[in-house]
Amino acid sequence: MAARGWRPLAAAIAAARPGGGGPGAAPAPAPAPAAPTAAALYVHWPYCRKRCSYCNFNKYVVPAVDEVAVRACLVREARTLLRLSQVQSVTSVFFGGGTPSLASPSTIAAVLEAVAGAAHLPAGAEVTLEANPSSTSIQRLAGFRAAGVNRLSVGVQSLDDAELQLLGREHTAAEARGAVEAAWGLFPGRTSLDLLFGLPGQSRDAWAQGLEAALGLCDDHISLYQLTLEQGTALAAQVWGGALPMPPQDLLADMYLTARAMLVAAGFRHYEVSNFARKGALSTHNLSYWRAEQYIGVGPGAHGRFVPWGEGGCSREARVQTLEPGAWMREVQSQGHGTRRRVVLSPLEQLEEVLALGLRTDEGITHERWGQFSPHLSLQAAFGAPGEARALQEQGWLVLDGGGLRCTWEGLALLDSLLPDLLCQLQHRWAPGAAPGGGSGAPRRSPTGDGAAGPSGVAEVVSGGGGE
Ligand SMILES: C[S@@+](CC[C@H](N)C(=O)[O-])C[C@H]1O[C@@H](n2cnc3c(N)ncnc32)[C@H](O)[C@@H]1O
Ligand SMILES: C[S@@+](CC[C@H](N)C(=O)[O-])C[C@H]1O[C@@H](n2cnc3c(N)ncnc32)[C@H](O)[C@@H]1O
Ligand code: SF4
């Protein structure tokens, strides 16, 4: 199953769209926009000390970071985007990267103060910071806690030194253990571990032993990501050049199913394809993505989804900030924000996101949430009549009932191969008679694969604009 890191949309959306065209095909009017209220807020710290062999996230290794200037730009952009969105309450904040644990606690504090000054930031709101084991001294972590961070996501990746070396990580297994223990002491019940599986040459037993070791350390949240080979990375070059073997698909599926069985036996809830939580320690920030709530993206390359009420907008937009930190800073300094791309999402595109993201969770999509995005076509009308979705229900992979639409336990492991059919059916119900084809073809029933993708082919309306 797709167990990759964060991505705005599943590839299946683009793959399954007949003729590539949602925009213009939808006959129904856009749903009436709701009043501006709440949003999650993501902050991207784009710098790392070293480039890991597998990573193609938006990160930069530079000799020196002008932290005073970056801080000022993050603060300014957060204020601008909060004003443009007219968001009154920020439900969670997530500092991701890159390596945000390399930022000073004073930078984190300054951003949080700016957010709290521009909107209501409730006292108990989840504030996560991603930390690499090589920048997690107790002193630093205590500084982050004093700044307002109350959840730590530690990038452990592996507890095997040879694997860590292959991944090009800066830390050893012993350092990762030390980092988790330090995190545990300061963020009890709110420390999460990221682990990678499906590494070149990794056996099922080696993976299971690594996970067992991680469980001994783990607090109440764990994320498992299947390693994706990314174009332009050193690891992909080695594998594609024949120097390293990747595990076959059936072994990857076995690793995933083994891991979830171990975690569930240890008392974890499998609440999202890649995420497991105990004692209710679900990540509210990440849940807001999967529930298709509003979120604001601050910092180089950050993504957002919100209605820009403050600029007179009344439709949900997908936004991406300028990737390169130097260019982003110049834009923030001159116009208050570095938004590079703004796309108004059509009603169908919004529903595709609701479907593809919502089905990643064990709660699925409630009738109420669907209705907020689709007042005219109910879940029942879209997926209850004979068709692909009904067939998936009969096969035991999908449930549509009084609660809404969700995957069964078996279906969650197969989501990537179910989605193309569901998206295709949604498109046909939305616009009966729209051009057929372009869908998934024969469904793949593989419990591995990758749902990662960039934003789908949505219509670009304008770049930049909306400054201070
Ligand atoms: C892969 S997820 C890991 C989450 C972690 N397992 C947890 O439970 O908190 C986090 C990464 O996704 C990316 N990310 C998350 N939200 C983003 C957004 N709004 N815009 C851009 N990147 C984002 C960032 O690279 C971030 O480091
Ligand atoms: C972009 S990193 C940022 C956090 C931090 N710098 C770190 O490395 O731990 C967020 C998570 O994305 C996941 N990730 C990055 N590249 C990946 C890849 N090629 N395949 C699968 N997961 C990946 C890793 O598990 C990592 O913990
Ligand atoms: S530390 Fe994290 S963001 Fe930086 S290169 Fe490694 S995986 Fe990518």
ipTM: 0.99
Testing ligand 1's pocket by substitution, the residue of 4, 6, 191, 287 carrying the most ligand atoms inside 8 A of its CB is 6
Ligand 2, pocket-test mutation among 44, 56, 194, 238, most atoms within 8 A of CB: 194
**Among candidate residues 162, 166, 78, 95, the one with its CA nearest the CA of residue 135:** 95
Band the pLDDT of 218: cuts 50, 70, 90: confident
How far away, in angstroms, is 96 Cα from ligand 1 center? 6
Which range has the worst mean pLDDT, 307-321, 323-337, 384-398, 437-451? Answer: 437-451
Q: Is 429 exposed, middle or buried (0-12, 13-18, 19+ CB in 10 A)?
A: middle
Nearest-atom number in ligand 1 for the CA of 192 is 8
How does the average pLDDT of the chain come out, rounded? 88
Residue 446: is its pLDDT beyond 50?
Answer: no
Determine what percent of the chain is predicted with pLDDT higher than 70. 85
| pLDDT number for residue 72 | 98
6 lines ligand 1 (CB under 6 A): yes
Ligand 3 near 269 CB (within 6 A): no
Report the pLDDT averaged over residues 451-464. 30
Identity of residue 50: K
Ligand 3 site, residue 98, Cβ cutoff 6 A = yes
Q: Is the CB of 42 inside a 6 Å radius of any atom of ligand 1?
A: yes
pLDDT score, position 13: 56
Q: Residue 465: its pLDDT value, please?
A: 39
Cα 44 from Cα 298, distance rounded (Å): 6
What class does CATH assign to 36-288? alpha beta
Q: Delimit the CATH 3.20.20.70 region(s) of the chain.
A: 36-288
Q: How far apart are CA 16 and CA 4, in angstroms?
A: 20
Q: Is the pLDDT of residue 132 over 80?
A: yes
* Band (431; pLDDT cuts 50, 70, 90): confident
Q: Which of 377, 378, 411, 379 is CA-nearest to residue 392? A: 411
pTM of this structure: 0.91
Q: What is the pLDDT of residues 291-329, one digit of tens each?
A: 999 999 999 999 999 999 999 999 999 999 999 999 999
- The pLDDT tens digits of the residues spanning 82-99 come to 999 999 999 999 999 999
The closest ligand to the CA of 8 turns out to be 1
